[in-house]
Structure 1
C-alpha cells in the first residue's frame, strides 16, 4: 500500500459531471456505501461517453462494455455532499479503453476517491471484440490528460 498514487487535482481530468448523493447512499457509519461510489463513477462515465456519441445500443453499431473496474478511497464522502466527477482517458488500445475518474466534493481541488474502468469495444449483436472505430478514437483523444495531473 505504500506505493499508491496520491490524490489528483482537478487539472488531471478533462471533463466533469455533477452528481448528487442521496439519503439512502449512506451506510451505518455515515458515509457512502462502497458500491455507491462505483455506481456514481459508472453513471458519470456513461454520461460523458453518451455526450461523445458512445453507448448507443439501439443503433446497432459497436458498443463498449466494462471488463474491469476498481476504486481507491482517499477521504469519506457522505450525503448531502454535492459531487463533481472528473473523467480522463488514460489509454486507448486496439479495442480497449482505460477510463480514469476522480470524485470531488463540489468546489474542492483534491479528489476524495478515484476509479478506473477498462472498456472493450464489441459488436452489438455478437458481443465479440472489435477495433474501436476511428471516429470514437479521435473523440477520446480530447479526453487525454497528463498522468501527473
Structure 2
C-alpha cells in the first residue's frame, strides 16, 4: 500500500485545539485509532457551527456521515494538545467532503490525516437536501489549498 501524500498545516485555514484525554489512550500507551474519528467529527462540526452559524439542535437540515477514512502517521498520546486542521475538499449539491489533518502542536506535517463526507438531509424525513447558499458561500472560503 502506498503512503498518502502528507498534508501540511499551510493547506488549512481552520484549526481546533483539542486536549487529549486519559481515556483516549489504549493499553499500548497511545491514542486509540477510533478516537481520531471523534477528533475529526468535533473539528468539522466546530467549523460549521463557528463559521456558518449552523444550529445543530434546531436547523431543519442535519449532516449525516456517509464516508470516512484516516491514515495514521505518528502516534499521539495523553497528555497532549493537538491541532486539527479542517478544509473543504468538495462541495456538492447536498454533500460536503471535509479534508482533515491532526498536527502535534507546532509541527508542520500531519500526524494523521483523513476525510469524511456529510450528506445533508431534512431532519424530519431524512431525504437529501441542498446545502443552503449562505452556508455554501462561507464554506467556499475553506476549500483545501495545494
Cα-to-partner distance string for 1:78-136 (whole Å, 9 max, x where unaligned): 11111000000000011111001100011111110012110111111111101111111
* Counterpart residue number, 2:53: 53
Aligned to 2:74: 75
Q: How well do the aligned residues superpose, as a CA RMSD in angstroms? A: 1.2
Identify unmatched segments of 5+ residues in structure 1: none
Deviation at 1:139, TM superposition (A): 1.1
Aligned to 1:13: 12
Residues 112-127 of structure 1 mapped to structure 2, 5 A cutoff:
112-127=111-126
Secondary structure of 1:142's match? helix
Distance 1:122 1:55 in 2: 14
Whether contact under 8 Å (1:26, 1:32) holds in the other structure is yes
Q: Report the secondary structure of 2:142's partner residue.
A: coil
Supply the distance in 2 between the matched residues of 1:64 and 1:24 (Cα, whole angstroms): 27
8 Å contact kept, 1:7–1:112: no
Number of matched pairs: 145
Cα distance, 1:56 vs structure 2: 2.6
Question: What is the TM-score normalised by the length of structure 2?
Answer: 0.93
The residue aligned with 2:101 is 102
Partner of 1:140: 139
Q: Does the CA-based 8 Å contact 2:8-2:109 persist in structure 1?
A: yes
Normalising by structure 1, what TM-score?
A: 0.92
Report the Cα distance in structure 2 between the residues aligned to 1:102 and 1:9, rounded to whole angstroms: 8
